[in-house]
């Protein structure tokens, strides 16, 4: 049999899943000069958090749990490793002691990723990191980006403790900077207590489609995703997935858990419903391994990143 020209995850019969180097899905490591189509990138950053810390360890633990994944999607029949060159690009450096300098470093790193034509799938890290990533991708694509945002929180605070950049503010900054097209943005799973109705109504006033978690209870989200695909059209789309969008019964290892969230099945339906969109990148953020005693949150994060890979343009289906 002819060897595949595409990188393949290391199989469980070649090396026990407890062994080998802990790359994402046990893929080869690569650099931006290696002609890669899709790169898994870690951003070990959590100095933008306001509650429980630990998301800086998210990339490492997601990679470790991803050793359980296999290359073919049995549900959707997607075979991403037969159609795209995928690799683990390692971690983006940050300045552990300076949030704003870290934002600069991340943006400059993702500028290089975008210039190399690599689609980034990011392992967070807290949600602050989406701002510099969107800045880089906006420059590359020269138009505001559509966003599918799964989260318990809208992340549109004007400030937190007087700071304009933190994990609760990135989407307000992104809207102010014209990085996002608000009429091509949907926020799914928002819920919990707040300070006023403005917490979610501000988003609606900008033209964002807000789908609170209560609207999702006891139903499939496939019909919703039909609407989302129509909303997004042919323009560039970014998926930003905060693990706390899912109920803490399924994903307890996160910094700001909120009860009454999405189920795992709904979480999968959202990503699978993005098939056919012009997806230019995605992230999975806010996994905090110190609060993930079983590893299930990290495993769920790894699966969601794999599902994002499976819906990228160019993926073949068996």
For residue 38, give Cα distances in angstroms to 25, 117, 306. 13, 9, 12
Q: Is 244 annotated as a binding residue?
A: yes
Q: Is 153 annotated as a binding residue?
A: yes
**In 71-223, which ranges are E strands?**
78-79, 86-91, 119-124, 145-150, 180-190, 209-212
Is the torsion defined by CA of 212, 215, 219, 224 positive or negative? negative
Among 111, 58, 21, smallest CA distance to 284 is for 58
Q: Is 91 annotated as a binding residue?
A: no
The Cα 259–Cα 167 span in angstroms is 19
Q: Which phi and psi angles does 148 have, rounded to 5°?
A: -100, 110
Q: Is 141 annotated as a binding residue?
A: no
Q: Is 149 annotated as a binding residue?
A: no
- The DSSP 8-state label assigned to residue 164 in this structure reads S
The Cα 70–Cα 25 span in angstroms is 8
Q: Is 167 annotated as a binding residue?
A: no
Binding residues for Mn(2+): 127, 151, 153, 155, 242, 244
Binding residues: 127, 151, 153, 155, 242, 244
């Amino acid at each position: 049999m002819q060897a595949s020209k595409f990188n393949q995850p290391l199989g469980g019969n070649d090396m026990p899943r407890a062994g080998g180097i802990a790359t994402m899905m046990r893929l080869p490591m690569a650099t931006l000069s290696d002609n890669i189509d899709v790169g898994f990138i870690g951003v070990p950053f959590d100095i933008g958090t306001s509650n429980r810390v630990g998301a800086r360890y998210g990339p490492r633990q997601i990679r470790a749990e991803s050793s359980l994944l296999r290359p073919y999607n049995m549900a959707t029949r997607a075979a991403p490793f037969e159609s795209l060159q995928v690799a683990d690009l390692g971690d983006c450096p940050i300045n552990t002691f300076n949030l704003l300098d870290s934002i600069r470093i991340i943006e400059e790193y993702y500028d290089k990723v975008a210039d190399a034509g690599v689609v980034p799938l990011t392992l967070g890290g807290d949600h602050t990191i989406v701002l510099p990533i969107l800045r880089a991708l906006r420059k590359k694509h020269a138009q505001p980006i559509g966003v599918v945002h799964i989260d318990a929180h809208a992340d549109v605070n004007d400030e937190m403790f007087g700071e304009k950049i933190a994990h609760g503010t990135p989407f307000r900054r992104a809207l102010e900077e014209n990085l996002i097209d608000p009429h091509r943005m949907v926020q799914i799973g928002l819920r919990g207590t707040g300070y006023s109705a403005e917490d979610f109504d501000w988003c609606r006033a900008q033209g964002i489609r807000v789908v609170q978690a209560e609207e999702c209870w006891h139903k499939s989200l496939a019909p919703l995703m039909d609407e989302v695909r129509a909303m997004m059209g042919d323009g560039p789309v970014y998926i930003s997935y905060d693990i706390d969008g899912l109920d803490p019964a399924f994903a307890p290892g996160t910094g700001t858990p909120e009860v009454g969230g999405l189920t795992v099945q709904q979480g999968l339906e959202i990503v699978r419903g993005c098939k056919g969109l012009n997806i230019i990148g995605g992230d999975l953020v806010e996994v905090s391994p110190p609060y993930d005693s079983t590893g299930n949150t990290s495993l769920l994060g790894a699966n969601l990143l794999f599902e994002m890979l499976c819906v990228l343009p160019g993926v073949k289906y068996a």
